[in-house]
Structure 1
Amino acid sequence: MQASLPVIWLACAYLIGSIPFAVVVSKMFGLQDPRSYGSGNPGATNVLRSGNKGAAALTLIGDAAKGWFAVWLSQKLLGTGAVVALTAVMVFLGHLYPIFLKFKGGKGVATAVGVILALQPMLALICLFLWVLTAVIFKMSSLAALVSAVCAPVVFYLGGQFGAWNAQPGATMALVFISLMLIYRHSANISRILNGTESKIGSKK
């Protein structure tokens, strides 16, 4: 039983990641299903297009919290580097491919932030700074997410090399995987950024 505990926990991490806060919060606020307008993405940025900033903020917090909670709980209960790294991957994949939404989920930015916050709070602050800076300058949430995604594993690795924190190989690989998946999930956004048609933050579609 003890040997199967990590497998059971990883399945739980996936289910935690699968909780669709964008859909749940939208129902709570009496809003349209976020999959029915804008980009069709069940995430905070698309909920913001409804005009309800409170709902968007609550979605953002929920999506980040589930990433943080799964990794934090894994650290407390299991504490092994490999399981924590796999937990980070599984909760993130749960958001991207949630069983509760027929495996059609969000892009994972907020959940990735929550994961990073649990792995290394200082790295989360750096990524948040990069996101805000890019978003303020270019007014594009997708571009801000891509900049943060590319920088996260690089900064994490360099921080470990310079002694700022303990960058375990498993966690580094988990962040590389999450970064690559974020880029993949934003492939359509990358095309629109390049041709100048990407929507701006706060715009309604």
Structure 2
Amino acid sequence: MQDALIVLAGYVLGSIPFGYLIPRLVRGDDVRRHGSGNVGASNVWRVYGRSLGIPVALLDVVKGFVPALVGLELGGDWVGVLAGAAAMIGHARPVFLGFSKGGKMVATAGGVAFALAPFAALACLVLWALTFAAFRYASLASMVTAIALPLLCLAFGSSWPVVGFTALAAVGVLALHRKNVRRLLAGTEPRFSRALPRGVR
């Protein structure tokens, strides 16, 4: 019963749409009307800049980290994996937004990874930063990091539940970025810009 409650709490925490709430509270604006239309940290940063993007990113990381860590400490690897996965699902399809499109799970997956495999997650953070600095595509950096995460977990000796989870998480992140892949291949994916779109200043 305790394990099930931890997993359920992970979904509820993951469903808190910080990328929607913070711009709504601070700017009185709906981020879903801009950019990619999702409530993830990348879209918030792209639309409103780092002053809102950084807090959203950190909160999205925390809502993956906390349930995964609690599950790991109280129930072991499997409960940590399931609670983290539930948080990611909540982020992608948040109950508080009527199960509509949420974020692309990258920051939340990063929080889960830091709880379950901190050394691999730290290496992925460096890889994300290097890829983003080189190409200025947040989507590309996220996909490269997602692919690398299960390999790094394996290299750092993580348990098989954690390796399997990160492999499935990578598939999920890639699936949510399929439109970005098509735009990258077509050369139409916009590079990251901090400029605010008309109407949100």
Tell me the TM-score normalized by structure 1. 0.91
The TM-score, its normalising length taken from structure 2, stands at: 0.92
The Cα of 1:31 is off from its aligned counterpart by 4.3
CA distance in 1, matches of 2:163, 2:42: 27
1:82 alignment partner in structure 2: 78
Report the more deviating stretch, 142-151 or 79-88. 79-88
Aligned ranges 1:28-177 → 2 under 5 Å: 28-76=25-73, 78-103=74-99, 104-160=101-157, 167-177=158-168
Please identify runs of 4+ aligned residues in structure 1 that moved more than 4 A: none
In 1, Cα distance between equivalents of 2:194 and 2:178: 20
| Residue number among 162, 178, 187 corresponding to 2:169 in the alignment | 178
Give, in angstroms, the shift of residue 170 of structure 1. Answer: 1.0
Percent of residue pairs bearing the same amino acid type: 34
Measured after TM superposition, the shift of residue 51 of structure 1 is 3.3
Any stretches of 5+ residues in structure 2 without a counterpart? none
Question: What is the Cα deviation at residue 52 of structure 1?
Answer: 3.3
Which whole-Å deviations, capped at 9, do the CAs of 1:143-172 have from their partners, x for residues lacking one? 000000000001111221xxxxxx111111
Ranges in structure 1 where 5+ consecutive residues have no aligned partner = 161-166
Instruction: Count the aligned residue pairs.
Output: 195
Letter in 2 for 1:158: A
1:27 partner letter? R
User: Which residue number corresponds to residue 200 of structure 1?
Assistant: 191
Deviations 1:23-42 (A, max 9, x none): 11112212421111111010
